[in-house]
Structure 1
Amino acid sequence: MALRWSTLDPESVTAWAELTNLLARVDGTEEFYDAEDLAEELTEHGFSPASDSLAVWAGEMLVAYAQLRVPTSLTHAEGYARVSIGGGVHPDYRGQGIASEMFDRMEPRGEALAQERHPGAPIQLRASGGVESDPVRPLLTERGYEPVRYFTAMERPLPGADLPALDSRVVPFTPDLAEATRLAHNDAFASHWGSGPVTPEHWRQMREGRSFRTAFSRVALAEDGEVLAYTTAQQWVDRELYIGLVGTRTAARGRGLARAVLNASLVAAADSGEFDLVELEVDSANPQGAGALYASLGFEPVRTTAVFARLLPR
């Protein structure tokens, strides 16, 4: 059957979700999404599905897709313009050159968009290499990408082992603290690999998204109301909570605040009875030793994925 190439759109989200969840099982990433979650991605600030996505069809079945994202900010440390290419190919349609064709189409678009948004900045192409057995890794290597970072997913059962007592410095996250938390995040992640400042538009979309769980997000406040540390919580899978971000302002480190806010989120999730499991992800080379912190609160590693990257010549 001849393949039909198009782009992602609202009519494709059901088939897109089916393929995404199939790949989450087959490739071992466990990254599951509902159609409603993916529909939100089509409206992300700075993302144009008509030019920044691909959909490959065999009849009425979606057999491959690709997404391109170019943030509107440069990385904190290197000043890179990031071009992230994501997607996947149905297991029955691998080995036919579909993934190569998607990269052939997405890379030039990403380079052009990066040059438009960040004239003169060095451009870094990025793609997920998945878990060690992912068949995309040889393809990425052939295209000049190299593994540049590893991230480990960690899980903790709920209620699980007893958690420490709550810290009085921690309070629930509320919408009026959104901007103060964004500023704290940008300060906290200035030393994290590959990250850049989060814009108000992207922060708003995250906290207004259907996956965001305000009830289980927490902040630690200074006396003047400045956010010193925070956790953000999200949910995509029934009875599983995901801790999306944990951060502490540089000047506030060493006071146990990251542990305090994360513990408060865990206590709230356990007390709610809504979850059997909580998951988060840690950079394997995190300079603040986050992995040890998470282990101290009962998290255990379950899988490791790689990020591959290629720096384009100026």
Structure 2
Amino acid sequence: MRELTWRPLTRDDAQASADLLNAIEVVDQIGENYTAEDTLTELVDPSADLERASLCAFDGDVMVGYMKVRHKPSASVVHRVIVDGGVHPSYRRRGIGSRLLEAGIAAAQVVHALHHPGLQLVVEMLKAEKIAGLSELASSLGFAPVRYYQRMEHPLDSLPRVAEDLRIEAWTAENDEDFRFVRNEAYADYWGTAPMPADLWQNKITNQTFRPAASFLLRDGGGAPVSVLVTMHWEADTSYTGIRDAHFMVIGTRPSYRQQGFASALIGYALAAVAVQGYDRASLSVESAAEAPRFFEKAGFEPKMRYVRWALPTSH
């Protein structure tokens, strides 16, 4: 193997990043396929700092490994910095992953000092449990599993009955702020989450994978926004698998409206809508330890793959 070239990621690396991630998918088979537009969205993420907190390795013109760090725009007590990365299957077991992850830990300390220096720093990764060698690599650098998440899928050949008197509306530019407001209130008591400012909402939610016609807001009798369901769809996945998947990225109800059946009603409505819109299945991810998996199983979702959140506490 010739000597690799190491440098920070740039916005011009979208196609090379997509090529690397798609090569990884061929081996890891975790259901994640990318276009250059998808990877560009991640490269322009406002919570990423490519110059200070990213690194990639090239063998000639081919990207063979990458790392990037995302900080939290807001945090309290603990600042959870996310490290993401991957290595081309043909280049694994050569120390590239270790170098990238070590660089990610160091970069996390840099962005932490810039954004939340007075808080405790925890460096985290979220990866599919099945990825070969990941557990050994993470453990060797001091990471420990702290949370587990389940990807669940719902075939659209059998759907629940939907009440007809619900006040449900699809996303529009006019109600976008209501969507974001409900998401932030609903997720305020979820472990490890933080409010999404408008720029991050636009980057992570209303980007090219967002499906407005399959994203819904439920209001109460007085018109107040109560629950939201946001759907994403990746064309690259359909090109690779032939399956049109409607991924329910955000499902949430404001705390004062919980335990009243709003979430169940909204999910039933969304399932019926995406079936009519030509999707083959619906999917979502949920924390394994919570009551949510049983809730979604009752709604017809089936567990398919588990993800692990790895954490490395640090005194810096």
Preserved CA contact (<8 Å) 2:47 2:200: no
Preserved CA contact (<8 Å) 1:218 1:262: no
Question: What does residue 83 of structure 1 align with?
Answer: 81
One-letter code aligned to 1:264: Y
Q: Secondary structure at the match of 2:153?
A: strand
Alignment of 1:41-80 (within 5 A): 41-74=42-75, 79-80=77-78
Note the C-alpha offset of 1:105. Answer: 1.8
Preserved CA contact (<8 Å) 2:228 2:252: yes
Question: What does residue 179 of structure 2 align with?
Answer: 181
Question: What does residue 102 of structure 1 align with?
Answer: 100
Q: Secondary structure at the match of 1:175?
A: coil
Q: Secondary structure at the match of 2:282?
A: strand
Which has the higher mean CA deviation after the structures are superposed, 50-59 or 247-256? 50-59
Does structure 1 residue 278 correspond to structure 2 residue 279?
no
One-letter code aligned to 1:206: K
Preserved CA contact (<8 Å) 2:53 2:111: no
Question: What does residue 148 of structure 1 align with?
Answer: 146
Question: 2:119 and 2:131 mapped to 1: Cα distance?
Answer: 34
Question: What does residue 198 of structure 2 align with?
Answer: 200
One-letter code aligned to 1:109: A
Note the C-alpha offset of 1:279. Answer: 1.2
Note the C-alpha offset of 1:157. Answer: 1.8
Note the C-alpha offset of 1:133. Answer: 4.7
Which has the higher mean CA deviation after the structures are superposed, 46-55 or 190-199? 46-55
One-letter code aligned to 1:37: D
Give the TM-score taking structure 2 as reference length: 0.92
- Cα pair distance change 1:137/1:129, threshold 3 Å: farther
Choose the corresponding residue for 2:298, options 273, 296, 299. 296
- Cα pair distance change 1:152/1:207, threshold 3 Å: closer
Preserved CA contact (<8 Å) 1:151 1:306: yes
Does structure 1 residue 164 correspond to structure 2 residue 161?
yes
Which has the higher mean CA deviation after the structures are superposed, 147-156 or 293-302? 293-302
Question: What does residue 11 of structure 1 align with?
Answer: 12
Deviations 1:101-153 (A, max 9, x none): 11222212211211221121011100134224531111111111100111110
Note the C-alpha offset of 1:51. Answer: 2.5
Preserved CA contact (<8 Å) 1:170 1:260: no
Question: What does residue 241 of structure 2 align with?
Answer: none
Question: What does residue 313 of structure 2 align with?
Answer: 311
- Structure 2's unaligned 5+ residue stretches are 239-243
Q: Size of the alignment, in residue pairs? A: 307
Preserved CA contact (<8 Å) 2:151 2:304: yes
Deviations 1:186-206 (A, max 9, x none): 221122121111112211323
Question: 1:133 and 1:118 mapped to 2: Cα distance?
Answer: 32
Question: 1:249 and 1:89 mapped to 2: Cα distance?
Answer: 40
Deviations 1:11-43 (A, max 9, x none): 322221121122223223212221111112221
Give the TM-score taking structure 1 as reference length: 0.92
Question: 2:6 and 2:190 mapped to 1: Cα distance?
Answer: 37
Deviations 1:61-85 (A, max 9, x none): 211111110011116xxx3112111
Question: What does residue 259 of structure 2 align with?
Answer: 254
Deviations 1:242-283 (A, max 9, x none): 11010011110011111111221111110112x112211011
Q: Secondary structure at the match of 2:139?
A: helix
Question: 2:159 and 2:202 mapped to 1: Cα distance?
Answer: 34
Q: % of aligned pairs identical?
A: 29
Q: Secondary structure at the match of 2:52?
A: helix
Question: What does residue 226 of structure 1 align with?
Answer: 224
Question: 2:314 and 2:101 mapped to 1: Cα distance?
Answer: 14
Question: 2:216 and 2:163 mapped to 1: Cα distance?
Answer: 12
Q: Secondary structure at the match of 1:31?
A: coil
Preserved CA contact (<8 Å) 2:79 2:120: yes
Which has the higher mean CA deviation after the structures are superposed, 11-20 or 300-309? 11-20
Preserved CA contact (<8 Å) 2:159 2:272: no
RMSD: 1.7
Note the C-alpha offset of 1:173. Answer: 2.4
Preserved CA contact (<8 Å) 2:52 2:111: no
Question: 1:305 and 1:5 mapped to 2: Cα distance?
Answer: 29
Question: 1:269 and 1:215 mapped to 2: Cα distance?
Answer: 9
Question: 2:270 and 2:105 mapped to 1: Cα distance?
Answer: 39
- Cα pair distance change 1:222/1:162, threshold 3 Å: closer
Choose the corresponding residue for 1:113, options 108, 111, 114. 111
Note the C-alpha offset of 1:88. Answer: 0.5
